[in-house]
Chains A and B, each alone.
Chain A
Amino acid sequence: MKSRLKLISPAAAAAPRQRILSIRGLCKTFPGTGSFQKVLEGIDVDVKRGEMICILGRSGCGKTTLLNILAGFIPPTSGSLLLDGRPVARPGPDRCVVFQEDALFPWLTVEENIAFGLRAPQRTVRQEVERFLALVGLTEFRSYLPREISGGMKQRVALARVLILKPAVLLMDEPFAGLDAQTREEMQNLLLDLWARLNHTILFVTHDVAEAVKMADRILLMDTNPGRIREEIRIGLPRPRENEAGHFLEICRGLLAKLRG
């Protein structure tokens, strides 16, 4: 609990990145009508501390299921899942999720939502809330209710309320899919900025190729039926990445072709 409240020290961040999450032979089947439907098959992933990984796939490839298993919302059918060497069984504040839909508590203000998960002395809570309000640029909107702010702002709150817990892994389930193009880009930049500052490990699920190329250190390309990791693509482009640059578009085209094929 205590270690979560500390930022990763610069020394640790500079040191050779160690493995934080290890997924081995993960399978998930759901009972369907008469038969069993295999949603995920043989998923093997290693995630290093501080890495930004995008899981890219078409709708129905099981990427949300994978995220739900990582979050501990549903158990895998088989396979193992180790976070910092310990098996994952239940949802917990070491693996926080930013959902695609609005999952804020509608009866709490922006700042109350951000403070919800933080168990600490009142003064610490106030300081931390203040800091994260500023980080996501919502200081002026602190006393608004979720229904009074826009979709993009809601996702900022959703981001702040989990970042404040310093999770070991941040799980994001198409968090910007419901936003308009301009807001989406703003949010991507905000996330990249926060990631650079706070050094989180992020697993980001998306079906948007350009988004994946823009964000990821590594893209895991998923197959549909059953969901499998078909290919792992390392994106070596320097940051910040320009959506219009030739090399960027080339990578996008290549990925799109693979998604279709």
Chain B
Amino acid sequence: MSDDTPRRGSLHAVQPWLIPAALLTLWFAASESGAVPAYLLPHPVQIGGAAYSYLFGGPGAMPYAGRFWEDFTSSIVRVAFGFGLAVAVGIPTGFFSGRRALVNRLISNTLNALRAVPGISWLPLAMVWFGIGIQTTVFLVALAAFFPIYLNTASGVRQVNPILFQAGAMLGTTPMRRVFAILLPAAMPQIIAGLRLGLGIAWAYLVLGELTGVPNGLGAVIMDARMLGRIDMIVVGIILIAVLGRASDLLLHQLMRLCFKSARRLS
């Protein structure tokens, strides 16, 4: 979509919300009619109440009342550090592996083998290495988010049309300018795709990282609620992670578009 596509009225603004609305209606109907018992999936109104008291405090939601901001802060810090680490390592690694065949031959075998290992297998090892706490979560998030960022950057950089480098060379570009004025912008759509995939996975692994006895965080709330049999809080946690994941994805995309011409104008 280009930045100068005309706005096409309210219909386009409504369309993204049709499926969420339909799902909510279905859920409402299923709960009202008794087709789905509350111990499997509580009534949306009950979830709404639990979410309200989790977010803003209030009676009847102990031990979770008003805890949201604390959990949110811990989780967002873990995601930010993990994702930031993945970006800091993934983009340069992908960059060199996409441009230098030697680097690619050296590392792609190893990295693709490691990529096949499910994140959960790292959990016990990470706990031995880093103990219980933020480091384990950051490690898992960074590890998981690294692969899509690395792979997409490498493939984006590899697929830049060579004629653009020829054009750059005859126009007299310096090596520095070749990287920042040709290579990066040309690979931008795929780099963004990698970042968005990586951020999505970062949220997924956040919950995994918070499974292990950390006292706070959205993942910790979900696991804690399971122990206490609080199905409503599990659902609240799931919905909150979905909302935050989507919001951070939009934020990332907009931020890239704000910072890079090529992000606005390509894709």
Contacts and interface: CB of A to CB of B under 8 A. Distances in A.
Interface of A: 71-73, 90-93, 95-97, 99, 101, 103-108, 116-117, 119, 145, 161-162, 165
A6 to B, nearest CB: 17
Nearest to A167: B170
Contact of A99 (B167, B185, B265): B167
A165 B171 contact: yes
7 contacts: A71-B170, A73-B169, A96-B171, A97-B166, A103-B164, A105-B164, A116-B171
A105 B172 contact: no
Given A97-B167, A116-B181, 11 more contacts: A91-B166, A92-B170, A97-B170, A99-B163, A99-B167, A101-B163, A103-B167, A106-B266, A116-B171, A145-B2, A162-B170
Nearest to B260: A107
Contacts of B261: 107-108
A5 to B, nearest CB: 13
* Chain B contact surface mostly: helix
A116 B180 CA distance: 13
A177 to B, nearest CB: 15
Given A105-B182, A106-B265, A117 B166 contact: no
A52 B170 CA distance: 20
B141 interface: no
A101 B167 CA distance: 11
B216 interface: no
A101 to B, nearest CB: 6
B129 to A, nearest CB: 42
Nearest to A106: B266
B169 A107 contact: no
Interface in B220-267: 261-262, 265-266
Contacts of A108: 261
Contact of A90 (B169, B181, B182): B169
A132 B168 CA distance: 19
Given A103-B164, A107-B261, A117 B172 contact: yes
Interface string B152-172: 000000000101101101111
B143 interface: no
Nearest to B170: A91
B142 interface: no
Contacts of B265: 106-107, 145
Given A119-B172, A165-B172, A73 B188 contact: no
